[in-house]
Amino acid sequence: MESKMNRLENKVALITGAAKGLGEAIARGYSREGSAVVISDIDLDNLKKVEQDLSESDAGILALGLDVTQEEQWKEVINTIIERFGRLDIVVNNAGIGTHGNIETTSFDGWKKLLNINLDGVFLGTKYGVEAMAMNGNKGSIINMSSIAGIVGDPELLAYSASKGAIRLFSKSAALHLAKNKTGIRVNTIHPGYMNTDLIQLVPDPDEMLKAVPMDTFGDPDMIAQGAIYLGSDESAFTTGSELVIDGGYTAQ
C-alpha cells in the first residue's frame, strides 16, 4: 500500500513572526506536513529554540533573522531561500504587534510604529514573495495574517484594527491582480479570533471578553495552523482573495 503524501510535501515555506505564538504553531504544522520551513523573526533566541525543535525535519528547517519593516532584509532573506532550496512556494506574513489604545489615547508615534510593522511588513512580504514565486513559473500561496479586528471594530484597538482591516483589502487587491494576470499565485487572509497567545493580553478583562465568544472558549494556535496548512496546500487551488475566519463565532453576531 502506498503511503499517503503529506499535504505540503515538496513545498518551501517562509513564515514570519515564527519565534512564538501563531507563527510558531504554523511552523510546527508545516513541518509535520512535509514542507521545508524557513522561520524568521527579530526574536533570535526563541527562533533558535524553534529551529532546534524542528531540526529533525526531513524536508529541512532554516532560521533567519528578519525585521519585516526593512526592505533590504527582505531581499537578503529571499535570496538566501532561493540559494538554499531553489524555490519558494508559500509565504505566511504573520509578524505583527498589538497595542491597546483608542482615538484619544493613541499617539502618532505609536500609530506609525504599529502600521510600519503590521502593514508595511505584509506589503514587503507579499511583494517579494510574488517576485520569488515568479521564478517557480508563477505558482504559490501567500497567506496574510489579519484578525477579527480587521472585520469588526474595537474602540480600544484603534491602530491594530486599522492595520488588520488594511491587510484584508490589500490582500484582495493583490489576489485580483495576480488572478487577472493569469498567474497561479494566490493571496488569502486568516482572521483569528481570541487565541491563547501573548496577544490575548491586549484584552483588559479576558474573562469578560470570553462571554462574547459564542463557543465559550479561546482558540488554540494549532487551529490557525490547520487553516494555514489548507491555504498553503494544493487543496485550496481555487481559493484566492478569500478570508478564513477562525473565531468561535465571534464575528457571526
Cα-only R_g, the chain? 17
Q: DSSP letter at 20?
A: S
Which strand (E) or helix (H) includes residue 102? none
Which residue type is seen at 116?
N
Side-chain half-sphere exposure of 105, counting CA atoms within 13 A: 8
Q: What is the DSSP string of 55-97?
A: TT-SS-EEEEE--TT-HHHHHHHHHHHHHHHS---EEEE----
With contact defined as beta carbons under 8 Å apart, do 92 and 232 qualify? yes
Q: Which of 160, 194, 230, 250 is catalytic?
A: 160
Place of cell 490557525: 224
Q: Alpha-carbon distance 56 to 232, whole Å?
A: 22
Q: Alpha-carbon distance 68 to 93, whole Å?
A: 9
Whether residue 30 lies in the annotated active site: no
Residues 95, 145, 124, 85: is their CA dihedral positive or negative? positive
With contact defined as beta carbons under 8 Å apart, do 41 and 95 qualify? yes
Active site amino acids: 160
